[in-house]
Every structure is written in C-alpha cells, then in structure tokens.
Chain A
Amino acid sequence: MWTLGVEALAQMALGSRLFGGGGGGDTLGARLVAHQALEDCGQVRVLRPDELDPDALVAGVVVIGTPTVLVEKLPSTDQLAAVVRAEEARLGQKIEALIPVVIGGMELFYPIAAAAALHLPCLDADGMGRTLPVISMTTFTLAGVNVAPLCSADAKGNVISLDTADNRLAGAIARLSAMTLGMANACVCYPMSAATACQVSIPGSLTRCLEFGGLLAQAQAQGTLEPVLGACGGRELGDGVVIAVDRKTTFGFPKGSVTLELFGGQGTMRVEMQNEFLVAIVDGEVVATVPDLISIFDINDLEPLYTDEIQEGQRVRVAVMPCAPQWRQPGMADLVGPAAFGYHVDPVGQA
C-alpha cells in the first residue's frame, strides 16, 4: 500500500504520456481534475490487488470519448461517482476498490480522481499497461473477464448500462453510444473479484507511471533515452527526419503513417499509426509491432509526441518498449496484435 497525493501527479503525467504511445490525449485537464479531487477529498490509498479481501468487488474506471472533446468537456468526479453508483445498483453489491483499465494519457487520472472523491482505494494495476483504442483490448478480455455490466454516463444524468456477452461488441456499442451522449463519458466496467484482479491484471501500473515519469525527466535532462529504455529492456529504432505524414480523414479511427529518413543513410522508416503508433517498418522489414509500445520523441527535448503532433521536417527519435509480460499468452495476437488493427504483418518481439 502506498499513498498518492497531489505532489506525485506531475511526474505521473509524464509517465502516462509515455505509456500513451502517441495516443491517450493531453493529460493536463484530467490531471487537474485529480489534483482538485485529492486536494478536496484527501489522498488516495494505492493497493496491490492481493492486499484486498479476495472476494471484494473491484471495477474498472475509464472515460470514453475522443481526446479533442475530453480536453474541452472534462468529465467530473460527480459523473464518475454517478456511474460507480449505477454499477453498484446494477450488481447489487458495493464496489470496494477501483482499477484503472488504461494507464496511458489522460485515462490514468480518472480512476485516481474517482477513488479520491468516493474515498475508495485505487488498485496499482491495469488492463493494458499502455493506451489502446478500444475498451475490449485488455488482459482482462484475454483472460475471459466480461466487460459487462458496463455503465456509462454523461454529465446530464443520462446513464446507460450494457449487458453484452462479447467484449468487442461492448466496445463497439460503447463507442457508438458515446457519440450520442456527447463524447465525454465516464464509464465503469469489468466488475471482478479482487482474486480475479490478481490473476488477470497487469501489476504495478501506477507505480510504473510514477517511476517512468521520473526516468523520462532524467532522460530529458541527460539528452538520452537510456534511463527509460534501460529500465524496461526497450531499444531505439532510429533517429531521423520526418519526410512525410499521411493522415487519412477516414471514418471512425484516424489512420495514417509517418515516414522518416533515418540519419546517416540508415534507410527509411515508416510508422503506421491510428490513435497510437502501431507498426514500425525499416526498409520493408517490420521491426516493432503493437502491443509493444512504439514511441516517437522530439529529438531536441525527448518529449513523447502525439500522433496528431507529428509534422514534416521534425527531427525525431523512435523507440520501442516491450509490452507487459501479461500480454504474452495465446490469443494476444488476435486481440491486440497488428492484425487486430488491420495490418497483415507478423508480430515482432513478443515471442
């Protein structure tokens, strides 16, 4: 158990930005919602799942929408509290701890804010170890945990509840309903026992955000990614200048690619992106694939860049960090491998 207060948030934000892998949205607003909740309601107890009674009910907290809307119409702790109550009513049982589902980008801060506002502990664990675009893309799904009942609420008191049997279908419906509900919804899902959470979640997620936020700050001060990559067994894929950015204004997910000319005549790298960076290819050879975390950094200050920030002429460093070991199980490739995003390439590096 450790105690999370306001002073840790800025460093965690740097870590969560890193684990966004180019997506996850700007952390500022969400971090400040958590900041206020911690200031008003007190610090949050962060527990390992095995520190709870094995039968205790835990549930995941996420926000559903689009980053552009979520930074404008910020979900509040009232909205989060409303869905927690709705989920409890649906289950007829008290929720005793909240668990993050996503730790990249803004998502990290909503379970923390909700935990503070409701005086519940927050589990030091999550279901992705990074950001992925669909709520079904979790180690929870991989282990057969149902995302439903899933309750989602806008700020106006509208709550919907899904009782789906299939997590992918739930993800699709949640997204469609979010559009009608204003694209900035609080959501509670993946109800499970603490014992189940022990088995199916990625442990140490909040701790890792804090740790890697510190390591990234250190990397930025030293001008090398070594502190970050050394701590997780990651590697640099190359330095180069962006020579083309292709963004298709397509339906649903934005989809595109970034092309770099690598320095020193090392060839050309293409990074395929949707909400996140998903596949890296050097001169036709696939060198990294999702769910490993592909990041593109501004070469000057080593700030991780969002997919929509990449511009032609930018000098960047590309690196990959291995995904959480909990992903390395049968079924992973179908759920979160490159094929799940429509790329017909063999997964790399997760053997």
Chain B
Amino acid sequence: MSIRIGIDVGGTSTDAVAVDAADRLVAHAKAATSPEPFDGIAQALDAVLAQVDASEVTHAMLGTTHLTNALLERRSLSRVGVLRLSAPAATQPRPGTGWPPELAAVIGPVAVVGGGCEYDGSLIAELDEKAVRTFAESCVGKVGAVSVTGVFSAAHPAQETRAAQIVSEIVGVPVSESHVVGGLSLIPRENATILNAAIISVARNVIDGFHQALHARGLSVESYLTQNDGTLMAAEAAIRFPLLTVNAAMANSMRGASRLSGLDDALVIDVGGTTADMGLLVDGFPKQRVRGTEVAGIPTNFPTPQISSFAFGGGTLVKTSPALAVGPQSVGYRVTQDALIGGGSRLTLSDVSAAAGRDVGFGDAALSAQIPAALVSEAMGWVDQQVRRLVERHQVPQGGLPLLAVGGGAHLVGSDIPGVSQVIRPPHSALANAYGAAIAEVSGSVDRVYNYDRFGREHCLDAAQEAAVDAAIQAGAKRGHVRVAAIKEVPLTYVTGQTCRVQVKATGPLRA
C-alpha cells in the first residue's frame, strides 16, 4: 500500500488530500492559509494524517502560490549576477534593458563573454573561461544567485553547464542555467532565468518549511513540487528552477478535474472566492501558452498554461444602489461568515446563488430569501455572461466541449453555456487542486533545432522523443510507462533544406 499526499496552498485556503495507489481519494482536509503559510500546511497535514496510516505515505506533493506572490510583491528577491555566453554575437541588448526600475534593481554584475552556439549546434565561440572567472570574482559577496544564458543553449547546453560550474565554485551561490528554464528566444529566456535565480532563496525557504513539516511528523518521503505544466518536479530540483512552479495552481486544478471526471479533453473553470480561472485540457494536460508570458511586467518564455481569468467568485460583493454592480471587491475566504447566508451582513454572489436555488455548500439558504427575484436574475445573468466570455477566449473545437466546474465557487457556473456541450461538476470538486497535485505525473521535455537533411526527419523525431522520454525517467518516471504527450515541429524560415525546431514532452507515472 502506498499513499501519496497532495497539498495546495491557495490565497485563501490550504487543502490536503491523501490518495492510494489507485489514485482513490482516501482522506482530505482544509485549513485557512495563515499569514505564516506553514501553519496552514501543518494544520491540513495533521488533519489528513489522522485519517491514514502515516507509515504508508510514500510521496508528498506541494503546489503553492508563495513564489508567485514573492515575484508580484517583489519581496525577498535575491540580487542576481547575469552572465551571457554569446560574444562576439548577441552582445546587445544588455541584460535587463527595458525592465521596470524596481525590478531592474535585482540585477547585479553583468557580463557578456565569449561562447554560444549557432542554430546548427556549431560554436559561435569556445567558452571564454577566463572571462567567466573574472565575472564570477566580480560577483563574490554581491549576489545571492547567478543566471547563465547561452545563445542556442537548448541545442547545446554544455557551455552553460561548464560556466555554471566555474561560477558556482568561485561565488558559492546557486546558478540558474537558461536551457532548463525557458524556450528559444534569447531575451525572454534570459529574463526568465534571471527571475528564476531571484526567487531561489524564497523557494529554498518554502521547501525547507515543507520538509520540516514532513519530518516533524515522522514522514520520510519523496517530496515534489508541482509545476506549470501539471507535472511534478522533485523538491530538490524545484529549489533550482522555482519559476517553473509559479503557475502550478491552475494546472493542478485542471489535472485534478480531468481525473475526477475521467475526461481528457474539456474546458475547466476553477471558481474561488475572488477570481475565476479557465483553461483548456488537451489529452489530459493543460494547454500551454503559445506566446510568451509577462511576469511582473517582464517578458519571459517559460512554459505556462493558457489561462484566462475574471474577477468573480463566491465572495464577490454585489452592490444594489445606485444600480446593480458585481465586484470586483470580494470578502474572499471570509465569505462563510460575512455572507448573508453565513449569518453576516454582506451581499455576495454566494447569497445570490443560494437565492437562485443553487447548492453553495455552506450557510442557511433561507437567509437569502429576502433578495428580490429581479436582482437574483440580473446578477446571475451577469455571471453567466462572464462565463460565456471566458469560454469564448479558449479555442473550443466544433461541436463544443464539456466544461468541468471546480473550486469552492463552482456553484456560480450555470448549466447552459454556448460552446459547452455539458457542464460537469466532478465529485470532490472543491479539492480538485490538491487532488491534482497528489496524482501528478513526472515529465521530461526537449526543445531543439534538428537538420532533417543530415539525418532524416524520422530519425530526428525519434531522437527527440527518446531524449524526452529519458528526461522523464531521469526525473523519476516509471520506465516503460512514459508516453510522449506532445510533439511540435516548426520549420525554420529561409533555411534551404529542412531544418526544424522540434519540441517534445513526455510524461509518466512516478516510480513507487
């Protein structure tokens, strides 16, 4: 018997679940996310462990919004030394060009040194190790982390790894290598790598706190963080690549909703206390953004799900005078006490939903009887319209898709929505995110430029898939159970002959 625990730390509540080897939900608990986040984790963990045999727990998975908040609030960020391997090519723009000044302040010493690759993997220049050392010495005592970004490093990561080794020996701080963090396109990848380095110390605190919580309960288990694509990353790796976990919450919800409903292709809406997020599941995984994404005003290109959000949830306030106005203010997690049906005095969407006859999961629906019917129909009409807009933002194929409604505010989602074949409310839907963390798989990916003329297309695609599968096994997947989840080929313009950028992702269940 093997039990895995999934924990989701959201803005308002911390959920924990336990699942067995067949992914059945065997225990769950909820705690308020406290200002000191590990109290919430400890509380939820204790409540779940009281329901299972702790000696059977083999894995613990954490999904958390800590790191996202650190970036958005620019809190506890480390100063970062920035090294680029590209000279004599790509010497401009300087790292950090165009950054908002308050974030540009995280950039410490900068150097652009000899190195980097051509598109075909040949070298622009040998790595200038002497210049790397000079840069490293300029960083000593001045930075908390270093980022290293080489031109076309995805095709040829050896130089980044060597430079990182030199820097790490001299400076003694964590070093982020770009080929692990971002995709092709130098500047957004370098930006992502700098931000990744800047949040490493926050990530270490989070993961140390998680480990202490586990150890204090006698749990000596494999620990993981969930990442933006809905797959797992070993906690040790997450300390090095925390940026890859910052958008994991919605990915967890989507993976959980998929498994709880048994559907691999669907829209998912997660309605919380204050916001509603929607994403598209393709083959059981969150559809990833095609364009890059901005983090705190900085263009980056690390993998992240395509999510659209709107400011409404169970705690959203409804004003009636001078005219009906819904949100965006919300009472958030206090909804269970502040809402009319919770015995409070604030009119929230949960009250309106209860008055419309929906099961909101808390409070006394009779307390909503005083709300005029016209107001109920107008406010629920407004919510329906927001949900319709969110659906329109996603590329729904002909014939529509099912919509999986999860989260504490899922009762707000009506049952008749254009473009949606049916609305499904999976069992335990309020726990979709913690469940999604508990059942997550591990993955490996490849993003490389291949020359089909030299080796043939089939051979190149095979090689790319094999590399992705190996990467998944390296990350902890069960050999023989890894499958290729996505392949994308993009031909390079103007190159005579067939040169293609190939992106492959492979995923598989954890080794026991």
Contact = CB atoms under 8 A, between A and B. Distances in A.
Interface residues of B, number: 45
Given A252-B496, A299-B392, A313-B396, 17 more contacts: A37-B92, A66-B495, A68-B492, A73-B86, A76-B92, A155-B91, A156-B88, A175-B496, A243-B398, A249-B489, A250-B498, A251-B498, A253-B493, A254-B491, A311-B290, A311-B395, A312-B397
A252 B97 contact: no
A68 B497 contact: no
Contacts of A184: 89
A79 to B, nearest CB: 8
28 contacts: A32-B97, A33-B93, A36-B97, A66-B495, A68-B119, A68-B184, A68-B490, A68-B492, A69-B119, A72-B119, A72-B184, A72-B185, A73-B124, A76-B90, A133-B493, A154-B89, A175-B494, A182-B118, A184-B89, A243-B398, A249-B491, A249-B500, A253-B493, A254-B493, A300-B392, A300-B393, A315-B392, A315-B395
Contacts of B151: 72-73
B428 interface: no
Q: How large is the interface on A (under 10, 10 to 19, 20 to 34, 35 or more residues)?
A: 35 or more
Interface string B130-164: 00000000000000000000011000000000000
B57 interface: no
Given A32-B98, A68-B492, A179-B495, A157 B88 contact: yes
A324 B397 CA distance: 37
A73 B185 CA distance: 8
A36 B187 CA distance: 13
Contacts of B497: 251
B457 interface: yes
B498 A28 contact: no
A78 to B, nearest CB: 7
B116 interface: yes
B91 A78 contact: yes
Contacts of B490: 68, 308
Contacts of B492: 66, 68-69, 183
Interface string A26-46: 101101110111010000000
Interface SS of chain B: loop
Contact of B494 (A29, A74, A183): A183
Interface in A228-243: 241-243
Interface in A162-200: 175-176, 178-179, 182-184
Contacts of B97: 32, 35-36, 39
B124 to A, nearest CB: 7
A94 interface: no
Nearest to A37: B92
Contacts of A78: 88, 91
A67 interface: yes
Given A66-B495, A68-B119, A77 B152 contact: no
Interface of A: 26, 28-29, 31-33, 35-37, 39, 65-69, 71-74, 76-78, 133, 154-157, 175-176, 178-179, 182-184, 241-243, 247, 249-254, 261, 275, 299-300, 308-309, 311-315
Interface of B: 86, 88-94, 97-98, 116, 118-119, 124, 151-152, 184-188, 290-291, 299, 392-393, 395-398, 449, 452, 457, 489-498, 500-501
Contacts of A29: 93, 185-187
B285 to A, nearest CB: 16
A183 B495 contact: yes
What are the 10 A-B residue pairs with the smallest beta carbon separation, nearest first? A313-B395, A155-B89, A32-B93, A66-B493, A36-B93, A71-B185, A76-B92, A66-B494, A254-B491, A32-B97
Contacts of B395: 241-242, 311-315
Nearest to B282: A313
A73 B116 contact: yes
A243 B89 CA distance: 41
A36 B493 contact: no
A175 B497 CA distance: 12
A73 B489 contact: no
A133 B290 CA distance: 23
